[in-house]
Amino acid sequence: MKHNEFIIGATFWCSSRLWRCTDIGTRVIVAIRLDRVDVGSSAPEARRTLGRAEAEVEGWFNGPPYAVAESVFDEYDVEGCSLDPGET
């Protein structure tokens, strides 16, 4: 993808993972991962992984601010992004 193809709130694929664009900078894209959420805890038995549907129901993707970490994609990363999951 090209930088100007990203839209805040829209989804895209990168490295076979689904992402939602949360911010567009001059040279970077910021996004949250949607296909899974790793819930951490200091107690090992409380750690878990949520799928997209479960994470949405629990409100993990509501924001900003988001309960999940945002990732930054630089100009080299965006070259590997696509609107089609089969192209990444």
Query: In whole angstroms, how far apart are CA 32 and each of 42, 45, 46?
Result: 23, 25, 22
What tokens does 78 get? 């965006």
Note the pLDDT tens digit of each residue in 17-73: 999 999 999 999 999 999 999 998 889 888 999 999 999 999 999 999 999 999 999
> Which pLDDT belongs to residue 46?
87
16's CB contacts (< 8 A; 6+ apart) are: 85, 88
- Which amino acid type is present at position 68? V
pLDDT score recorded for residue 88: 62
Task: Answer whether residue 3 shows pLDDT above 70.
Answer: yes
Q: Is the pTM of this model over 0.85?
A: yes
Q: Is 81 exposed, middle or buried (0-12, 13-18, 19+ CB in 10 A)?
A: buried
In the predicted structure, residue 87 carries a pLDDT above the cut 80: no
